[in-house]
Homo-oligomer: A and B are copies of this chain.
């Protein structure tokens, strides 16, 4: 939520298409790295400036250019001019409060989505925005901060016999999307464990109030759901629409990816049901604890209040109370008291309160 708010505060009133980086302002430099490959050749270089990108477009190899760091607005402005990118796209790349979407332009596709990771310390989800510009033989990816989920893709690129080296830019796109969705499963795993932990503590340490915890997890689930929900139509469009860039062979893989995305959504829905079950169990626990407390109170009161009365009777100072002077009276009194107590205990035993 906080990012949208930041956006609104910063953007409000700017001309549309004005470039403005919205997100955490990292001081690290902008990194540009490139993979340039076909079945035979693999060239892995770090680029110095946006101008170094241009040669890749005229080459007949496939190129993946990865740009990390979004704060250098100047660079993106020049890049936009070089590649003739629409200002609205640049605006979206820099504004990290966007929801997943795909825009189709004449010369390229634009895809924007969320890379998700689990912050083990804060026990909550971290979102990072990733966007892709897909040209005929070139894919440019944009990330906010260093560290991503693409290392396995890079390893496969370096392996000469891998499918990725044989196929074109569309399979590269699929591999990157696949790496991101794979990571969603990792997140589901963490969320699932979190839910199981909460279930356990509901049963084992019922006194602790874990409702706030439950709702924070619920909010994480909803955020993940929103992100995945918007991702699904993007992937569907990719393999259903008739893009020149997507070959039928890769289309199959994208359909498979779509199935995975659906599975993420299914699991999220299941988690939501589980969470609302936890809330019900919590409510029921609270009520049961109340019942427990009231039973203790009632048992104490029901046993000792009559006894206190009986003791009170013989504490009265009436002149003429014949029982008081009998020798056996005190013993009898105790017997009666014990009888009352016993019958009370049997009564509560029968009611299954003990």
Contact = CB atoms under 8 A, between A and B. Distances in A.
Given A1-B267, A293-B295, A312 B319 contact: no
Interface stretch (A6-14, A36-44, A45-53, A129-137): A6-14
A317 B319 contact: no
Contact of A219 (B274, B286, B319): B274
Interface in A133-174: 151-152, 156, 162-164, 174
A266 B1 contact: no
A88 interface: yes
Contacts of A345: none
A20 to B, nearest CB: 13
A207 B352 CA distance: 8
A253 interface: yes
Interface string A275-297: 00101111110111111011111
Contact of A297 (B16, B252, B301): B301
Given A17-B163, A314-B316, A8 B294 contact: no
A109 interface: no
Interface stretch (A66-74, A116-124, A327-335): A327-335
Interface in A175-204: 175, 178-179, 182-183, 185-186, 188-189, 192, 203
Contacts of A17: 163, 253
Contact of A8 (B186, B320, B333): B186
A270 B226 contact: yes
A324 interface: yes
Interface in A240-293: 252-253, 255-256, 259, 262-263, 266-267, 270, 273-274, 277, 279-284, 286-291, 293
Contacts of A298: 293-294, 296-297, 300
B289 A286 contact: no
Given A188-B4, A192-B1, A286-B287, A13 B179 contact: yes
Interface of A: 1, 4-5, 7-9, 11-17, 86, 88, 91-92, 97-99, 101, 103, 151-152, 156, 162-164, 174-175, 178-179, 182-183, 185-186, 188-189, 192, 203, 207, 209, 211-212, 215, 218-219, 222, 226, 252-253, 255-256, 259, 262-263, 266-267, 270, 273-274, 277, 279-284, 286-291, 293-298, 300-302, 304-309, 311-321, 323-327, 329-330, 333, 352-353
Given A7-B185, A219-B273, A226-B266, 15 more contacts: A1-B270, A5-B192, A12-B186, A15-B164, A17-B163, A86-B252, A91-B256, A99-B259, A211-B284, A290-B290, A290-B294, A291-B293, A305-B308, A315-B316, A319-B324
For the complex of A and B, the 9 pairs showing the least CB-CB separation, nearest first, are A311-B312, A8-B185, A13-B152, A314-B316, A297-B298, A315-B315, A304-B305, A318-B330, A300-B302
